[in-house]
A and B are shown apart, each in its own frame.
Chain A
Amino acid sequence: MGAGRLLDEGEIRRSVIRIAHEILERNRGAESLMLVGIAARGDDLARRLAAEIERIEGTSPPVGVLDITFYRDDIGLHAEAPEVHETRIEGDITGRTVVLVDDVLYTGRTIRAAMDALVDFGRPTAIQLAVLVDRGHRELPIRADFVGKNLPTRRDEDVRVALRELDGQDAVFVEPARAGAPETTGDRS
């Protein structure tokens, strides 16, 4: 079985635009908002959302990038330590509404780690969650506030998001899990 394309460039663009509107509607504007993308790809989506919010509202919320590697619950379970990415959160998050942004919501373990990481930087007024794809199979009591698309999947499938910034194209694929890939504990999202 080969890779199937679930979302194309146009659908991703329209999802980002809709989520930007929903974030503004829910929070009554962009004031005291902050977008924090989870590396990698969540940060690119966060920057796109910020650009969209600026186009709609005239002001751009600050964008941060968060690496959750050190907060994962599976450190020491893989043959190699998980690769570390950059974290950059400028300014104080205390008193702000932080919208976490990620590409795929799956088990919820990444989001749990991201919330733990975030509160080490301060005390946000609220944390909300925006994802491009919700593929189900939660292992923790976590749900997204803003969802690009709900995509029912099987656990033995992989959902892969490609973004222009990193991968040269915008698309979401579903493909059979790589042989030998560990169970869900190892997977991001």
Chain B
Amino acid sequence: MNKHLLSINDVSADDIVRILDTAESLREVGTRVIKKVPALRGRTVVNLFYENSTRTRISFELAAKRLSADVINFTTSGTSVAKGESLKDTALTLQAMGADAIVIRHSSSGAPYTLTKWVHGSVLNAGDGTHEHPTQALLDLYTIREKLGRFEGLRVAIIGDVIHSRVARSLSFGLVKMGAEVTLVGPPTLIPPEAPQWGVGVSHDIDGALPKLDVCYLLRVQRERQRQQYFPSVREYSRLFGLTRERVGMLPEGCVIMHPGPMNRGVEIDSDVADLPQALMEEQVTNGIAIRMALLYLLLGSSGEEVSPDARTDARARA
């Protein structure tokens, strides 16, 4: 594994399997009386969030704490950042304080890459602009594998505001890497023009896509990132691309419904659809903690030296 997790393209298919398997073992920790193991005792994890995010930050915080790491939450409001400190100076400050890992969310695509130039510790991308959100993709892969048992040949539609969605990018790359067939579905204005280069299909007809799916993945309509009018009205969007009760009837038996949250009930998903048993949003949240524990463990639990293939085999044999 690389020292950092900036993009899903930083990890190979083998790495993904290893991350998911490690998360599988770590999920058991959450069921113990004492939900904590000493693996990362004495390490410091900084959550550096330049954008609001309750669920991702809490998930990372809980993950680090269950591994016994010390956690510092650095949010931008009311701190030196609000006083005009640059990302570089903030990074150097955290570096000087001895952060072993920095979890960063930033509204600018590429900010985590820039951060790696200034700090010695591992950098984990918790969402950068409209670029990537690799930990979300990994927890989605975990949830899909848990429910459906495989990736090869799975038919997955990612539906909605793809162009603004870092989740859609990371998840598409991850699913394609694992052998799934991905189709992006949405109005032409919300599908990135370069999408065909990701190795995915594109469709503007949700009703044609639904009957063939194993996974129906809905994206939040990100009105806060939309700087222009991408569709005439929310009502029209919901009528043309929302997962309504009637559309759920078009999904094959066994098809699961997923959403990265937070949901706009009544926009991309009907309220009672979100509460159906095949909707996995709560599982996604629970699995998110295990995935983030696995990543922190795998990144901070290594010495950070280059790994030769021999040493890799040796580590397996020893364990």
Q: Which positions in A face B, CB cutoff 8 Å? A: 67, 69-72, 75-88, 116-117, 120-122, 178, 180-181, 186-188
Contacts and interface: CB of A to CB of B under 8 A. Distances in A.
Contacts of A87: 25, 28
Contact of A75 (B24, B40, B317): B40
Nearest to A84: B25
A71 B301 contact: no
B26 A84 contact: yes
A33 B229 CA distance: 69
A106 to B, nearest CB: 12
Nearest to B310: A180
A86 B21 CA distance: 9
Interface string B270-312: 0000000000000000000000000001111111011110111
B21 A84 contact: yes
Interface stretch (B29-37, B45-53, B177-185): B29-37
Nearest to A122: B33
25 contacts: A69-B25, A69-B319, A70-B37, A72-B39, A75-B301, A76-B43, A76-B302, A78-B315, A79-B306, A81-B299, A81-B301, A82-B301, A84-B25, A84-B297, A84-B319, A86-B24, A86-B25, A87-B28, A120-B32, A120-B34, A120-B36, A180-B310, A180-B311, A187-B318, A188-B319
A187 to B, nearest CB: 6
Interface of B: 1, 21-22, 24-26, 28-29, 32-34, 36-40, 43, 67, 297-303, 305-308, 310-312, 314-319
A86 B29 CA distance: 10
Interface of A is mostly: loop
Contacts, number: 91
The 3 A-B residue pairs with the shortest CB-CB distance, nearest first, are A81-B301, A70-B37, A83-B319
A184 to B, nearest CB: 11
Contact of A80 (B1, B21, B24, B28): B1
B38 A71 contact: yes
Given A75-B301, A84-B25, A85-B25, A121 B32 contact: yes
B238 to A, nearest CB: 43
A19 B37 CA distance: 31
Given A76-B303, A78-B303, 19 more contacts: A67-B25, A69-B25, A69-B39, A69-B319, A70-B37, A71-B37, A75-B39, A76-B300, A76-B302, A79-B308, A80-B302, A80-B315, A81-B298, A81-B301, A82-B319, A84-B26, A84-B319, A120-B33, A180-B310
Given A80-B307, A81-B297, A70 B38 contact: yes
